[in-house]
Amino acid sequence: MEFGIELVPSAGPVSVDPYRMAPAELIELKGQLEDLLAKQLVRPSVSPWGAPVLLVKKKDGGSRLCVDYRQLNKLTIKNKYPLPRIYDLMDQLRGASVFSKIDLRSGYHQIRVKEGDILKTAFRTSFVGLAGYYRQFIEGFSKIVAPLTQLTRKEQPFICERSFEELKRRLTTSPVLVLPDSGEPFDVYCDASHQGLGCVLMQHGKMVAYASRQLKNHERNYPTHDLELAAVVFALKIW
C-alpha cells in the first residue's frame, strides 16, 4: 500500500520558512534528523516544496519531530472515505473469543509515499542554526555566515552561494584543535572589525576553540577602542 497526495487543479509548490528554535531544540532536532537519515526514512532534497518542522513535547519528557503541513493540506483533495460505524464493527465480533490489538512504532513511517508525491513532503530546517553548533571549531564563523544571515531580513538579494559552499567545506574539514587542560593557563586573543567580533582560545601555543559573532545594530556605531573592548567582554563571557 502506498500513500498518495492529490492536489487541487492549478496548485503549485509551497515553501514556508523554517521556524526559529531554541539552542536545546536545535540539538535535539539534529540528533533526530541524523537518526532518520541513518534509517533512510528521510533524504536530502532539492524539492521546490518545503514545510517547517517543530518539536512537540511527549508525555515521557522526550520530543516528537513534527512537520507543519498545513499549507500543503490546503492544496490537497480531501479524502472522503467513509469510516465504518463502531456499532457495525461490534456486531461483527459476535461469536469471537480471541481479541488482539497492535500498535506500530512510529506509525507514519510504516506507510510508503508514492514516488511521484515524495517531493511534496519535503521539509525545511535552518542550515545556519544547525551549523552554529560547530562554530567553536570554525575560525571566522560569523564572517562566513554573514551573507546567509542577511537573508533572514526582508528584501535582501539572494547572494550567498559562496558563503554556503565555504561553510559546507569548513564543516567537512577536520579542524586541528587540542583538548584543554584545566590545570594550565590559557591565552585569549581578541579582534574586532565593523563586521563582527572574533576571539581564539589557546593553550601552549595551540588552538583550543574559536568564537565569533556579528555586530548588533547599535554596535556598528562604536569607535574602534569600544569594539576591541566588546571583543574582550564577548570572549570572557564564553570562556
Q: What is the pLDDT of residues 2-54, one digit of tens each?
A: 889 999 999 999 988 888 777 788 788 888 888 888 888 888 877 889 999 99
Share of the chain above pLDDT 70, in %: 84
**Average pLDDT rounded to a whole number, residues 97-125:** 87
**Other C-beta atoms lying within 10 Å of the C-beta of residue 20:** 11
**Average pLDDT rounded to a whole number, residues 121-132:** 71
The torsion angle over the Cα atoms of residues 150, 156, 158 and 159, rounded to 10 degrees, is -60
**Position 219 pLDDT exceeds 80:** yes
**Position 160 pLDDT exceeds 80:** no
The CATH number assigned to the domain with range 135-238 reads 3.10.20.370
Indicate where the chain has its CATH 3.10.20.370 domain(s).
135-238
The torsion angle over the Cα atoms of residues 226, 232, 235 and 239, rounded to 10 degrees, is -150
Question: Which range among 37-41, 42-46, 131-135, 221-225 shows the weakest confidence by mean pLDDT?
Answer: 131-135
pTM: predicted TM-score of the whole model, two decimal places: 0.52
**Average pLDDT rounded to a whole number, residues 162-170:** 72
Question: Looking at residue 156, what is its pLDDT?
Answer: 55
C-alpha–C-alpha distance, residues 142 and 238, integer Å: 15
**Position 157 pLDDT exceeds 60:** no
149 neighbors 168 (Cβ within 8 angstroms): no
Query: Length of the chain, please?
Result: 239
The residue ranking higher by pLDDT, 152 or 215, is: 215
Indicate where the chain has its CATH 3.10.10.10 domain(s).
2-92+102-124
C-alpha–C-alpha distance, residues 182 and 63, integer Å: 34
Question: Looking at residue 121, what is its pLDDT?
Answer: 94
Question: From residue 110, how far is each of 1, 2, 106, 156, 218 by CA, in Å?
Answer: 10, 10, 7, 41, 52
124 bridge partner residues: 52
Question: Which range among 11-20, 98-107, 229-238 shows the weakest confidence by mean pLDDT?
Answer: 98-107
Chain mean position to CA 62: 17
pLDDT-derived band at 174 (thresholds 50, 70, 90) equals low
Question: Looking at residue 117, what is its pLDDT?
Answer: 93
| C-alpha grid cell, residue 99 | 481479541
The residue ranking higher by pLDDT, 133 or 124, is: 124
CATH T-level topology, domain 2-92+102-124: HIV Type 1 Reverse Transcriptase; Chain A, domain 1 (3.10.10)
**Position 170 pLDDT exceeds 80:** no
**Position 130 pLDDT exceeds 70:** no
